[in-house]
Amino acid sequence: MKKFSVVIAGGGSTFTPGIVMMMLDNMDRFPMRELVLYDNDEERQAQLGEALEILLKEQAPDLKFSYTTNPKVAFTNKDFCMAHIRVGKYEMREKDEKVPLRHGVVGQETCGPGGIAYGMRSITGMLEIIDYMEKYSPNCWMLNYSNPAAIVAEACRVLRPDSKVLNICDMPVGTLRRMSQIIEKDPADLEVRYFGLNHFGWWTSIKDKEGHEYIDQIRDYVAENGYLTKVEVDTQHMDQSWQETHKKAKDLLAVNPSYLPNTYLKYYLYPDYEVAHSNVEYTRANEVMNGREKEVFTAARNIIEKGTAVDGGFHIDSHASFIVDLARAIAFNTHERMLMIVENNGAIANFPDDAMVEVPCIVGNDGPEPLAQGKIPPFEQAMMFQQVTVEKLVVEAYIEGSYQKLWQALTLSKTVPSAKVAKDVLDDLIEVNREYWPELR
Ligand code: NAD
Ligand code: LMR
């Protein structure tokens, strides 16, 4: 079997050790000859890089491994780039969440004004790494799961239409694992129908390979419990705030009991509830900084001090194996069925062709082929049209340096009550993002 050369962009991410260990665990399905970590933060990269070097010497001595902040070294001779960057890191995520909350508006990293602010930062970072990839390895594919994926995907559509960038999200994967737990099935045996935007969609069918439909059974469970399951099925979305989110799916389902909702819809359907149940002094960014970030970097320090990764505290992120499934689909033309963020082009019949939507696709070595989901009802269509217009306005505002369009984007977001509040939030976001956003006029 061919062996691949891979770069992870955002090599200093809290997710890097778990993903590297997951890839090691999948070497029989996706063999690697070289793995390089790339980040633009030298100190952060060195901490995880040094610890992973020790781990890989012990667990995969034949794999050529390095870490770097040099784009030429990182991106030369690569087959795949796994991208998970966070422009501005947790310091800026905290501001994305707290600035809107101070105005009584949802403070979330990918939804509402926080997602818009993060999007305006991410576009620059994403274009930078796409351009490095194309310069040093023109045949390389980027598997991108950097957020906010909806805005990033729209920016790629407009600004890098021919680039080999695939945008994918782990949230539907995690929720499907919960659904499979509810019906006591293996998630690999389930096929779904789904339509929406990223962090904004609905499942319309959950069938096994024999064609048996489970949506009613899952709906009855979710109507009582949300997606909270008795057994822990997801290694990522487990913190207390996520448990609340899984539970809240019950109230999302109540709005339209025909479909199973993506959990992120809570920020659009119940923004007042979310604000009332947020603590502006301690948001999800603080929870992650005191949790996942601290744990990962403490584990790295311990491995480096001890000189061994045995019992070292890095844990395999098995839920991230969808990334290997995607790489395999491209590399080995597996025609795997996966939810991807792609240009609509008729997949949702009554939605604009040029919208970036999230739908099931068959993925082979030419990339994803979207599966037709038919017409969607007016309620979901209208919600999606409002939200996709927000995302398009953000990208236009970025390109044109337009204050007006960014103000319109915030005003149109279902999470923001008025143009006045939108302007107040925007002006504060501009202030804290000066280092990252293009200048707006
Ligand atoms: P993190 O801050 O721990 O890591 C991000 C890393 O990216 C940092 O080390 C930072 O220095 C680096 N970085 C920033 N800009 C860069 C650039 N231009 N070039 C190279 N490196 C750059 O963040 P995290 O919590 O580990 O999340 C990483 C990313 O993965 C985020 O975008 C997050 O939203 C995303 N994520 C996506 C999914 C999904 O399935 N879509 C799931 C979880 C996390
Ligand atoms: C978070 O920390 O909540 C986000 O980065 C999303 C996630 O999946 O953990």
Separation between Cα atoms, residue 308 and residue 359, nearest integer Å: 43
pLDDT of residue 245: 96
pLDDT in tens, 294-311: 999 999 999 999 999 999
Nearest to 191 by CA among 213, 169, 175: 213
Helix or strand run (H / E) with residue 324: helix 322-332
pLDDT in tens, 225-264: 999 998 777 667 888 899 999 999 999 999 999 999 999 9
**How many helices (H) and strands (E) would you count in the chain?**
17, 12
User: Atom 6 of ligand 2 has which residue's CA nearest to it?
Assistant: 237
pLDDT of residue 425: 99
Location of structure tokens 């030369």: 76
Site to probe by mutation for ligand 2, drawn from 237, 293, 295, 317 as the one with most ligand atoms within 8 Å of Cβ, is 237
pLDDT of residue 238: 84
Give the dihedral of Cα atoms 171, 175, 180, 183; nearest 10 deg: -170
Tell how far the Cα of 15 is from the centroid of ligand 2, in angstroms: 10
Tell how far the Cα of 302 is from the centroid of ligand 1, in angstroms: 23
- Look up residue 124 and give its two tokens: 């620059």
Partners of residue 66 on adjacent β-strands? 36
Report cis status (omega within 30 of 0) of the bond before 438. Answer: no
Separation between Cα atoms, residue 385 and residue 264, nearest integer Å: 16
Ligand 1: does its nearest atom lie under 6 Å from the Cβ of 106? no
Partners of residue 261 on adjacent β-strands? 202
Separation between Cα atoms, residue 423 and residue 429, nearest integer Å: 10
pLDDT in tens, 194-230: 999 999 999 999 999 999 999 999 999 999 999 999 8
Alpha-carbon radius of gyration of the chain: 21
How far, rounded to the nearest angstrom, does the alpha carbon of residue 165 sit from its chain's CA centroid? Answer: 14
Asked whether the beta carbons of 321 and 22 are under 8 A apart, the reply is yes
Nearest to 3 by CA among 35, 38, 49, 47: 35
- 264 belongs to the catalytic site: yes
> Judging by DSSP bridges, how do beta strands 367-370 and 32-38 pair with one another?
unpaired
Separation between Cα atoms, residue 273 and residue 410, nearest integer Å: 19
In tens digits, what is the pLDDT along the chain, a chain of 441 residues? 899 999 999 999 999 999 999 999 999 999 999 999 999 999 999 999 999 999 999 999 999 999 999 999 999 999 999 999 999 999 999 999 999 999 999 999 999 999 999 999 999 999 999 999 999 999 999 999 999 999 999 999 999 999 999 999 999 999 999 999 999 999 999 999 999 999 999 999 999 999 999 999 999 999 999 999 987 776 678 888 999 999 999 999 999 999 999 999 999 999 999 999 999 999 999 999 999 999 999 999 999 999 999 999 999 998 899 999 999 999 999 999 999 999 999 999 999 999 999 999 999 999 999 999 999 999 999 999 999 999 999 999 999 999 999 999 999 999 999 999 999 999 999 999 999 999 999
Ligand 1: does its nearest atom lie under 6 Å from the Cβ of 13? yes
User: Atom 4 of ligand 2 has which residue's CA nearest to it?
Assistant: 109
- Cβ-defined contacts of 258-262 (< 8 Å, 24+): 258/204, 258/377, 259/202, 259/203, 259/204, 259/380, 260/179, 260/202, 260/203, 260/206, 260/215, 260/218, 260/219, 260/222, 261/202, 262/171, 262/172, 262/175, 262/196, 262/199, 262/200, 262/201, 262/202
Tell how far the Cα of 139 is from the centroid of ligand 2, in angstroms: 31
Determine if residue 29 is labeled as part of a ligand binding site. Answer: no
pLDDT of residue 201: 98
Residues with Cβ within 8 Å of residue 399, at least 6 apart in sequence: 158, 159
Which ligand lies nearest the alpha carbon of 173?
A: 1
- 67 belongs to the catalytic site: no
Determine if residue 292 is labeled as part of a ligand binding site. Answer: no
pLDDT of residue 230: 82
> Judging by DSSP bridges, how do beta strands 80-83 and 367-370 pair with one another?
unpaired
Tell how far the Cα of 206 is from the centroid of ligand 1, in angstroms: 31
Ligand 1: does its nearest atom lie under 6 Å from the Cβ of 149? yes
Length of the chain: 441
Q: Which atom of ligand 2 is nearest to the CA of 242?
A: 3
Q: Which atom of ligand 1 is nearest to the CA of 145?
A: 41
- Which residue among 39, 79, 96, 170 is the active-site one? 170
Separation between Cα atoms, residue 381 and residue 197, nearest integer Å: 11
pLDDT of residue 149: 98
Ligand 1: does its nearest atom lie under 6 Å from the Cβ of 142? no
Helix or strand run (H / E) with residue 80: strand 80-83
pLDDT of residue 367: 98
> What is the chain's percent helix, strand, coil content, to nearest 5?
50, 15, 35
Separation between Cα atoms, residue 114 and residue 109, nearest integer Å: 5
Asked whether the beta carbons of 204 and 193 are under 8 A apart, the reply is yes
ipTM of the complex: 0.96
Asked whether the beta carbons of 245 and 266 are under 8 A apart, the reply is yes
pLDDT of residue 431: 98
Partners of residue 341 on adjacent β-strands? 167, 358
Tell how far the Cα of 181 is from the centroid of ligand 2, in angstroms: 21
Per residue, the 3-state secondary structure of 350-397, as one string, reads CCCCCCEEEEEEEEECCEEEECCCECCCHHHHHHHHHHHHHHHHHHHH
- Look up residue 361 and give its two tokens: 């696709």
- Which residue among 264, 267, 268, 398 is the active-site one? 264
Asked whether the beta carbons of 391 and 197 are under 8 A apart, the reply is yes
139 phi/psi in degrees, rounded to 5: -95, 5
Which ligand lies nearest the alpha carbon of 236?
A: 2
pLDDT of residue 237: 84
